[in-house]
Structure 1
Amino acid sequence: MKIKLARIDDRLIHGQVSTVWAKEAGAERIIVVSEEVCQDDIRKTLVKQAAPPGIKVNVVNVEKAIKVFHNPKYQAETVFYLFTNPSEVLALVKGGVPLTTINIGGMQFKTGRTQITKAVSVSQVDIAAFRELKALKVELDYRVVASDPKVDFEAKLKEAQSS
């Protein structure tokens, strides 16, 4: 499998992903890696319906994503991975999927999270996962839209931990 883009955006496939990021990725398939979405038939159906024309969408858990990545049958496929959180990204990397960069787009505010940018709120679990990804040499590329300049996401995490 050829990984064209990997992005965390808890809204998954929405206008910005359909019109900009999917085009930016140039992949023939979007793979949504999410235990939560995988178990929610309604959300899974909605995600598939929101896909840009001509792009296949699969919604799988981490275990299946790892198996599919390592299956020689899919070697020539180009993929755009979409995640809702950094812990599942980390599990994929630990499972041998060679992500070199993760684009961080949107992680909505919820109770127990700290807002670190306009679009990203993190929990302590998220911060730990991001730190481990960085230690595994995965670049943390924070950009909400493709045309945004890159932001020092590490500095944002440090700010969140000190507050």
Structure 2
Amino acid sequence: MVMDIRLARIDDRLIHGQVATAWSKSTDISRILVVSDEVAHDELRKFLLKEAAPPGVKSNVITIKKMIEVYDNDLFEGIKVMLLFTNPKDVAQLVQAGIHFTSINIGGMRFTDGKRMITNFVSVDDDDIKAFRYLDQKGVELEIRKVPADRKVNLIELLQKEKKT
């Protein structure tokens, strides 16, 4: 039995208003797993993320290694899960380890030095693009949407258009 992943989302803000309300309702989840080595080793962020989960939804912060270990664990049988990531490289690591995703939702990747904006809320650098291209080659849909009601924007098509300009 593998985990019932209702949504896998990259959003460096992790659990916040949009996730807590719109996404958790539309996906009918009961558990949020934040998968990040960096966050898993930050006690304050872990505490704040547990507090930010919507009522009736449990949240945990785990390492990439732990996610690989629990992916096909009976512990999660019958539990509808949302996975949250801060970046595409972590998702690529899981796919390399044999975890299957049909789709990854990209909700927000903030602008920092060395990144370029491809939408008003998604910024990428070369490592991000490399990870996204790997996921695309593995057949994973990469769709940009802030909230469920938004129109899906295909990340790879957006990158290809950007290259031509």
Taking structure 1 as the reference length, what is the TM-score of the superposition? 0.95
Q: 5 Å matches for 1:10-21? A: 10-21=12-23
What is the CA-CA distance between 1:162 and the residue it aligns to?
A: 6.1
What is the CA-CA distance between 1:97 and the residue it aligns to?
A: 1.7
Q: Report what 1:62 is aligned to.
A: 64
Contact persistence 1:114–1:160 (CA under 8 A): no
The runs of at least 4 consecutive aligned structure 1 residues that moved more than 3 Å come to 159-163
Q: Report what 2:36 is aligned to.
A: 34
1:42-92: CA deviation from partner (whole Å, max 9, x where unpaired): 011111100001101010111101111122332322110000000111111
Q: 5 Å matches for 1:118-129? A: 118-129=120-131
Task: Structure 1: give runs of 5+ residues left out of the alignment.
Answer: none
Task: Structure 2: give runs of 5+ residues left out of the alignment.
Answer: none
1:80-130: CA deviation from partner (whole Å, max 9, x where unpaired): 000000011111122222211000010000001011000000010000000
Count of residues in correspondence between the two structures: 163
Classify the secondary structure of the residue corresponding to 1:70. Answer: coil
Change (3 A) 1:160 1:44: farther
1:150 partner letter: K
RMSD (Å), alpha carbons: 1.3
Classify the secondary structure of the residue corresponding to 2:160. Answer: helix
Classify the secondary structure of the residue corresponding to 2:70. Answer: helix
Percent identity of equivalent pairs: 50
Taking structure 2 as the reference length, what is the TM-score of the superposition? 0.94
